[in-house]
Structures are given as structure tokens and as C-alpha cells.
């Protein structure tokens, strides 16, 4: 058989023989796949992102432009840090102020492009899709980390400042211990807040809710998941606080106008619309902020965009973000910019959008954070606005602003019925704070529970259900449902940014309530403005350049107290004794 096959092969033509020889060849040749990086369009640093007036050219910005600018600006930051490192190694004498100024100047364009991309991503993700934004985000974050993680530069700065640097560090550590500092301090604060309870039922301030439910025909004992339903029913039945009806008095344009007027009166600023500024959507508006307390009051100290309405692919519903587009950067000659982005429903058939009480709270809170970003006087961008502020104080300015809604006079100044423009009835405005204080003790204990649970989940090796069963009866008067697995929905502490920091929300509320009590105690517009000026010169101006505990002492001359928070929730009795933190 083999001889026959050999003979048949002899009769193949040369082409067939070559083809068969090729098919029977099994040489392995290496192959390569070349991935071209997304480097975007080339150009000068920041070219096309900013106009000559320093504002972003939103009508011309593209994904490719942002990618290209971020790539070049990130490389410039890394090269600057590397060059500085080489100078230090060569023995050149350095000056710390010059180093900070140089790094600030080279980081400014990077931060601006990053902020513009973030605003576009949140404002309309069809312009900057998630994948493209994450590439920009990671590249910018890595470049910014380069100036913080260079050990040569760090050691050189320590050696230059010597004892002074060590002294500042030690002082800051002491201040931090007096602020919230340690878990032991937090546990003491939790215990002070829990001292409000006389009996278990009174502690959670839920007796009236149980009675109302029973009188309304409820023939079963209330569980935790029933409380919010009966709370709403009680507010409507006993106080005529129906949120749909209340929202008719708060059309969006009227609220924005009232918010600006209140801020101008409190902080001696002017907010002026800039109609010619480029925006990413026709409904977006830009405003310049002028500060009457600075020498050149005719030049804006900053500006902000307002994007109120939900758009396709916008994240969630009824949310609000303060996006820092650009920090104040005196080394680079850049004024602060930010964007206030909301998810209010679009106007229907020409009708103005109406805001609920929760919407008012969110708008004021977001605007308060924006004011701290815009009115900062810190010298370096890493200390300006909300930068370098402790986590447990990062929301103070927002809550201070939202606390003005506890004042019926402020509520009436914001109101005007969408059909008749009549302000809300004085008696009804007096009742509106009940939307916040109704079952205030119950809600406070729920926040205390979540904060304590977060800390225990992160520091304890015990099984999560055992921790829940241990803490639940400490803060709740209602039994834990055996099928309740609420920790599984606490995404902020597991996949978000608030791991072991859930207490920060409550701590910021406590500080803000103490600050707001200073405003509430005033009886004249002059005194009101004087407190506003003092608040502006401390909390709004200092940014992260001074520890927040020291800023608070400069404002009130003492440490914070839990009493103000209890009073703001209408659950403080004069016989209760609470000490300063």
C-alpha cells in the first residue's frame, strides 16, 4: 500500500505538490496585537477646553479633546514632579513655597479638564460616556497622585521645615482627637444623644404615631416598615401637610431667586447671570459671583453652572451634585468654578416645575457646598474649598444652608403659588418644619444605629447578623424582623466612598445645627448679617487650610455641643444635661 501511495505522489503536478507541501507544514510564527491608546487630539495644554475668558468652551469640547488634553496635562504634572526630584537629588537648595506654587500651577489645567469632563458626564452622559470618562478619571487621578507619592520631595520638605513641620503634624493630630478623632469619642457622642430617652417609647418619640394609627383603625402592632407610612398619614390628617399641595407654592424659578437673595443678604455677595457663557445644554445657566468684601469687588471671584432638569441617562431621580470643575488656584491665576446638577422633572406642557420639601432641602444643601467651593480664600488648590476637609465635616456647609428652611420667614420668601403668585399661608409655613421634626427622635436613633453598625461591621470579626442583633435593640423600640437583611442594601459603605464613615453624615448635621442656632438667635437683619459675615470669614473662607475644630472655635468660641441638634429636632428638654464634645 505504501508503494502505491508513493507512486501516486509522483504523478502530482508541481503546483499540487507545492500546495500539499504547504498544507503539511506546521511552522509556528509569533503574532502581535498592537493596542493603540486613546490619546485624543494633540494640541497645546488645555487648548480648546478653555476660552480666553477662562470659562470652558462647551460648544467645542469633544471626547477626543478631553482625552488629548488630559494625556498632555497628566504628562506635564509627572514630568514636573520628576524634574523636581532630580533637582533635589543633585543637591539644589529648595524653597517649600516655590515647590507648592510650581506644583499648583502645573496641576491647575489638569484639574480643570478633569472637572469639565466630570460635569459633562453627570450633566449629560451621552456627551461623555462612562467608558471614556473612566479613562479620563483614572489618568488624572494617577497623575495627581504623583505629586503626593514622591518620597524624595516629601523628605526634602520635612528636612527643610524640620521641627516646625513635626509641630504642625502633632497639633493637627491633637485637634483631630478633639473633633471626632477616635471610635471612643464617637461612642461617647452616640451615648450623649441617646440620653434623650426617658422611657423606651418616649425615646423614639413614636407614641403619638402609634396612637394615631390605632385611632385610624390599625388593628396590628406597628413594625419598623410601617412607620414612614403612618408618619405621612399623620402629617396630612393632623397638620394638613400634604406635600403635593405644598409644592404648588414652590415653583423652581421662584425658589432659585429666593435662594440667591438670601445668600446675597447673608454673605455680602452678588450673583449675576452670565447669559453669553457657553453651556452644555440650552436649559443650563451660568452665574458669576461677586464678593463685596474683597478689594476688587467688580471682578467675579468665581462662577457656577446650574443644570436643573433630568435628561436621558441621568443618574437616579431627585438627586443633586455639586461638581467642582476648578478649585481656586492662585498660583495658576484660576478662579473657582463649579456645577450644581439636579434631577428635577422636566416641565410638562409649559408648566413650571414644582419642588417638594425634600427638593428644597436638597437644593439648599447642594448650594451651600457650592458657596464653600466658591468663596474660599485658601492660598493653594489642595486646601481650597472642600479640599482637605475632614470627612466628618465635609457636609457642614450644605446642612447649614438647608437649616435655613426651618425658618418660616425664609420659607415664605421662597414661596409664590405657581398660579396666583401668592405666598404660602403664615400658619402653614409655621407647620412645615414638622416635615423634618415629626418622629425626630425615631429618625435620630435610626441614624445612630446605622453609624454604629457601620463602625462595628468594619472593626469587628463577628458575623454581620450577630452584630445587627446586638445593636438593633439599643436604638430601636420595635423588634427586628427575622427576614430583615438591611445591611445588604448599604451600598455606600461597601461599594461607595463611606466605608466606616457613615457617622460623618450625622456628625456634620450636629455641627451644622450648632452653627445654625447662632443665626436663629438673632432678632434683627443687622445681627443676622453680622453672623453671616463671621460664618463666611471662618467656614466658607478657610477651606481645608485650618482644622475644622479650630474653625468652629473661631466661629463660636467653644467646642460643639449635641444640644443644638436635639433642639433642631424638637426633642430637647431643658432638664436634660449635655456637655460640650
Partnered with residue 323 across adjacent β-strands are: 339
At 36 the pLDDT is 53
Among 22-26, 97-101, 406-410, 519-523, which stretch is predicted with the lowest mean pLDDT?
A: 22-26
CA 206 to chain centre: 32
Residue 231, C-alpha cell as written in the block: 408618619
At 165 the pLDDT is 46
What is the band of 26 on the pLDDT scale with cuts at 50, 70, 90?
A: low
At 157 the pLDDT is 81
Among 178-182, 185-189, 347-351, 465-469, which stretch is predicted with the lowest mean pLDDT?
A: 178-182
- Mean pLDDT of all residues in 552-569: 93
At 356 the pLDDT is 94
Contacts (Cβ under 8 Å, ≥6 apart) of 185: 177, 581
- What value, to the nearest 5°, has the Cα angle with vertex 552 and ends 563 and 562? 15
Residues 209, 238: Cα–Cα separation, whole Å: 11
Per-residue pLDDT of 469-507, as tens digits, reads 999 999 998 899 999 999 999 999 998 889 999 999 999
Residues 419, 248: Cα–Cα separation, whole Å: 8
What is the band of 5 on the pLDDT scale with cuts at 50, 70, 90?
A: very low
Q: What is the pTM of this model?
A: 0.87
Q: Are 326 and 334 in contact (CB under 8 A)?
A: yes
Q: What percent of the chain has pLDDT over 70?
A: 83
What is the band of 21 on the pLDDT scale with cuts at 50, 70, 90?
A: low
Nearest to 551 by CA among 376, 382, 402: 376
- Mean pLDDT of all residues in 191-216: 73
Q: Where are the domains of the chain?
A: 63-161, 183-240+439-568
- Mean pLDDT of all residues in 194-209: 62
Q: Are 290 and 269 in contact (CB under 8 A)?
A: yes
Residues 137, 295: Cα–Cα separation, whole Å: 37
Q: Are 422 and 416 in contact (CB under 8 A)?
A: yes
3-class state of residue 367 by DSSP: helix
Residues 232, 246: Cα–Cα separation, whole Å: 14
Decide if pLDDT at 354 tops 90.
yes
Per-residue pLDDT of 205-232, as tens digits, reads 677 888 899 999 999 888 888 999 999 9
Q: From the CA atom positions of the chain, what is the Rg in Å?
A: 30
At 196 the pLDDT is 63
Q: What is the CATH number of domain 183-240+439-568?
A: 1.10.1370.10
- Mean pLDDT of all residues in 285-309: 92
Residue 470: which H helix or E strand, with range? helix 464-475
Residues 117, 428: Cα–Cα separation, whole Å: 43
Amino acid at each position: 500500500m505504501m508503494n502505491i501511495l508513493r507512486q501516486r505522489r509522483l504523478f502530482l503536478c508541481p503546483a499540487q505538490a507545492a500546495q500539499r507541501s504547504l498544507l503539511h507544514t506546521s511552522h509556528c510564527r509569533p503574532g502581535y496585537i498592537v493596542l493603540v491608546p486613546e490619546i485624543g487630539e494633540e494640541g497645546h495644554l488645555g487648548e480648546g477646553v478653555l476660552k480666553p475668558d477662562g470659562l470652558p468652551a462647551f460648544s467645542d469640547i469633544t471626547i477626543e479633546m478631553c482625552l488629548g488634553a488630559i494625556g498632555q496635562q497628566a504628562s506635564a504634572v509627572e514630568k514636573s514632579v520628576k524634574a523636581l526630584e532630580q533637582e533635589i537629588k543633585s543637591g539644589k537648595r529648595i524653597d517649600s513655597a516655590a515647590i507648592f506654587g510650581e506644583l499648583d500651577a502645573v496641576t491647575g489645567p489638569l484639574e480643570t479638564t478633569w472637572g469639565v469632563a466630570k460635569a459633562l458626564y453627570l450633566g449629560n452622559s451621552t456627551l461623555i460616556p462612562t467608558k471614556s470618562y473612566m479613562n479620563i478619571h483614572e489618568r488624572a487621578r494617577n497623575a495627581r497622585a504623583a505629586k503626593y507619592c514622591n518620597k524624595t520631595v516629601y523628605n526634602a520638605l520635612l528636612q527643610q521645615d524640620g521641627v516646625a513641620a513635626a509641630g504642625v503634624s502633632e497639633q493637627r493630630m491633637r485637634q483631630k482627637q478633639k473633633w471626632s478623632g477616635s471610635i471612643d469619642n464617637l461612642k461617647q457622642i452616640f451615648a450623649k444623644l441617646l440620653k434623650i430617652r426617658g422611657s423606651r417609647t418616649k425615646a423614639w418619640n413614636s407614641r403619638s404615631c402609634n396612637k394615631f394609627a390605632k385611632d385610624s383603625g390599625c388593628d396590628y402592632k406597628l413594625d419598623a416598615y410601617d412607620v414612614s407610612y403612618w408618619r405621612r398619614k399623620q402629617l396630612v390628617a393632623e397638620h394638613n401637610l400634604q406635600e403635593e399641595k405644598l409644592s404648588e407654592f414652590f415653583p423652581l424659578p421662584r425658589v432659585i431667586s429666593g435662594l440667591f437673595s438670601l445668600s446675597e443678604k447673608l454673605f455680602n455677595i452678588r450673583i449675576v447671570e452670565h447669559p453669553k457663557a457657553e453651556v452644555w445644554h440650552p436649559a443650563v445657566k451660568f452665574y458669576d459671583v461677586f464678593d463685596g468684601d474683597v478689594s476688587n469687588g467688580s471682578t467675579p471671584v468665581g462662577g457656577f453652572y446650574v443644570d436643573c432638569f433630568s435628561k436621558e441617562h441621568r443618574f437616579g431621580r431627585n438627586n443633586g451634585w455639586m461638581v467642582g470643575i476648578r478649585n481656586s488656584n492662585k498660583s495658576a491665576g484660576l478662579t473657582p468654578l463649579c456645577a450644581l446638577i439636579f434631577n428635577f422633572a422636566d416641565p410638562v406642557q409649559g408648566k413650571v416645575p414644582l419642588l417638594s420639601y425634600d427638593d428644597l432641602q436638597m437644593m439648599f444643601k447642594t448650594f451651600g457646598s457650592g458657596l464653600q467651593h466658591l468663596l474660599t480664600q485658601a492660598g493653594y488648590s489642595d486646601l481650597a474649598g472642600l479640599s482637605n476637609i475632614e470627612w466628618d465635616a465635609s457636609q457642614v456647609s450644605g446642612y447649614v444652608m438647608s437649616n435655613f428652611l426651618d425658618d418660616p420667614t425664609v420659607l415664605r420668601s421662597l414661596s409664590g403659588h405657581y398660579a396666583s403668585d401668592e405666598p404660602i399661608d403664615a400658619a402653614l409655613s409655621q407647620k412645615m418644619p414638622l416635615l423634618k421634626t415629626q418622629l425626630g427622635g425615631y429618625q435620630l436613633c435610626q441614624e445612630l444605629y446605622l453609624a454604629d453598625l457601620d463602625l462595628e461591621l468594619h472593626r469587628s470579626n463577628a458575623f454581620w447578623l450577630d452584630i445587627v442583633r446586638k445593636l438593633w435593640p439599643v436604638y430601636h423600640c420595635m423588634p427586628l424582623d427575622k427576614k430583615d437583611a438591611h445591611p445588604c442594601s448599604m451600598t455606600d459603605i461597601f461599594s461607595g466612598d463611606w466605608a466606616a464613615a457613615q457617622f460623618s453624615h450625622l456628625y456634620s448635621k450636629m455641627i451644622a445645627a450648632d452653627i445654625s442656632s447662632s443665626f436663629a438667635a438673632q432678632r434683627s437683619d443687622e445681627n443676622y448679617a453680622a453672623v453671616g459675615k463671621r460664618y463666611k470669614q471662618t467656614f466658607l473662607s478657610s477651606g481645608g487650610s485650618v482644622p475644622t475644630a479650630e474653625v468652629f472655635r473661631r466661629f463660636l468660641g467653644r467646642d460643639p455641643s449635641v444640644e443644638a441638634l436635639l433642639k433642631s429636632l424638637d426633642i430637647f428638654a431643658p432638664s436634660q444635661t449635655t456637655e460640650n464634645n
